[in-house]
């Protein structure tokens, strides 16, 4: 497995201001993601998380640097990537199956209708919506609509799923159920995911690695946190794992304090191109 399936190499993004001086959201940002990894990125609003995701999606262009996916430079949107936004953005006049089939037909325009519907049905089944295929978005709950959005993304068989706070507008119970579904799908498909979240517990439950970004403008990746929790995570047991609170405290401490003070208190030898990798763990008691 390559550790550079996604390679972000020194990208920068600047936006004009009324004064004429551009504001730098981030600069010289570098990150590598392995095939099959689930990576969450956390940071305060304004640090450029969504901009990084949009650059990966090909919806925005960096002012400097490059992004490669599977060895190919990314300069535009492509069907090798699927984006799931906070809003499901479904076509209201189409059924759940119709929304997913529309994506399949766009991906493979030469397919016959029966094969299009079969592929769409498989995606619907994968997200647990069997029996709701013929319902329109207005007849579905918020969680079900978001499931259709996930099914639509999966139906085109992308190499990468890019998710921008996809569960933030849902109630806690629905959000938890969808998180469980996403973990199951990732395990079953080996999908590579890049997800933005403000929810520390969500990142801990879902991610293999958690990328911590300092406050913007001029944001940088402070560190990459390797999740020490076991791959098989059960929602009702995870908080009992000895590494749970060391990890959670590390993330909260960053968001409350170090995201602001990082520039004045950088680790020795910090390199923007190779942010440090850390793995918070419970301390092993020492014998007196």
Asked if pLDDT for residue 287 goes beyond 80, the answer is no
What's the 3-state SS for the chain? CCCCCEEEEEEEEEECCCCCCCEEEEEEEEEEECCCCEEEEECCCCCCHHHHHHHHHCCCCCCEEEEEECCEECCCCCCCEEEECCCCCCCCCCCHHHHHHHHHHHHCCCCCHHHHHHHHHHHHHHCCCCCCCCCCHHHCCHHHHHHHHHHHHHHCCCCEEEEECCCCCCCHHHHHHHHHHHHHHHHHHCCEEEEECCCHHHHHHHCCEEEEECCCCCECEEEEEECCCCCCCCCCCHHHCCCHHHHHHHHHHHHHHHHHHHHHCCCCCCCCCCCCEECCCCCCCCCC
- Indicate the burial class of 201 (C-beta count within 10 angstroms; 0-12, 13-18, 19 or more): middle
What per-residue confidence (pLDDT) applies to 21?
83
Written as six digits, the tokens of 278 are 């850390």
- Report the candidate in 113, 118, 140, 138 with the shortest Cα–Cα distance to residue 129: 140
For range 200-208, the mean pLDDT: 94
Percent of the chain with pLDDT strictly greater than 90: 66
pLDDT band at 176 (very low <50, low <70, confident <90, very high): confident
Gyration radius (Cα) of the chain, Å = 20
- Report the candidate in 124, 126, 128, 146 with the shortest Cα–Cα distance to residue 137: 146
**How many angstroms separate the CA atoms of 153 and 148, rounded?**
9
User: How does pLDDT run across 40-78, given as a tens digit for each residue?
Assistant: 999 998 899 999 999 999 999 999 999 999 999 999 999
Q: For tokens 């990314």, what's the residue?
A: 74
**In this structure, are residues 119 and 155 in contact, taking their beta carbons and an 8 Å threshold?**
yes
**In this structure, are residues 6 and 32 in contact, taking their beta carbons and an 8 Å threshold?**
yes
What per-residue confidence (pLDDT) applies to 246?
95
What per-residue confidence (pLDDT) applies to 284?
62
For range 196-208, the mean pLDDT: 94
**How far from each other are the two terminal CA atoms of the chain, in whole angstroms?**
43
Written as six digits, the tokens of 82 are 């699927």
Cα 147 from chain centre = 16
**How many angstroms separate the CA atoms of 28 and 207, rounded?**
24
Backbone angles phi, psi at 99, to 5 degrees: -65, -40
**How many angstroms separate the CA atoms of 157 and 167, rounded?**
21
Q: How many CB atoms lie within 10 A of CB 105?
A: 18
**How many angstroms separate the CA atoms of 41 and 207, rounded?**
9
What per-residue confidence (pLDDT) applies to 285?
53
**In this structure, are residues 165 and 132 in contact, taking their beta carbons and an 8 Å threshold?**
no
């Amino acid at each position: 497995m390559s550790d550079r399936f996604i390679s972000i190499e020194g990208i920068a993004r600047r936006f004009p201001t009324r004064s004429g001086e551009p504001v730098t959201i981030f600069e010289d940002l570098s990150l590598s993601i392995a095939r099959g990894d689930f990576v969450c990125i956390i940071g305060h609003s304004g640090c450029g998380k969504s901009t990084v995701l949009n650059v990966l999606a090909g919806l925005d262009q960096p002012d400097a640097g490059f992004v490669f996916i599977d060895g190919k430079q990314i300069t535009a949107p492509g069907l090798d990537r699927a984006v799931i936004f906070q809003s499901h953005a479904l076509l209201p006049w189409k059924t759940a199956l119709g929304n997913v089939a529309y994506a399949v037909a766009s991906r493979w325009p030469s397919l016959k209708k029966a094969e299009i519907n079969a592929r769409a049905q498989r995606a619907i089944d994968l997200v647990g919506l069997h029996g709701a295929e013929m319902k329109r978005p207005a007849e579905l709950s918020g969680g079900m609509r978001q499931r259709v959005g996930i099914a639509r993304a999966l139906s085109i068989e992308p190499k990468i799923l890019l998710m921008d706070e996809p569960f933030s507008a849902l109630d806690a119970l629905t959000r938890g159920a969808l998180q469980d579904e996403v973990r199951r799908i990732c395990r079953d498909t080996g999908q590579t995911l890049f997800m933005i979240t403000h929810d520390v517990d969500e990142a801990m439950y879902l991610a293999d690695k958690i990328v911590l970004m300092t406050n913007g403008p001029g944001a940088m990746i402070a560190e990459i946190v390797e999740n020490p929790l076991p791959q098989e995570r059960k929602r009702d047991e995870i908080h009992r794992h000895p590494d749970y609170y060391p990890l959670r405290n590390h993330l909260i401490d960053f968001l409350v304090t170090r995201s602001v003070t990082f520039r004045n208190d950088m680790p020795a030898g910090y390199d923007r191109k190779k942010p440090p990798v850390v793995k918070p763990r419970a301390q092993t008691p020492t014998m007196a």
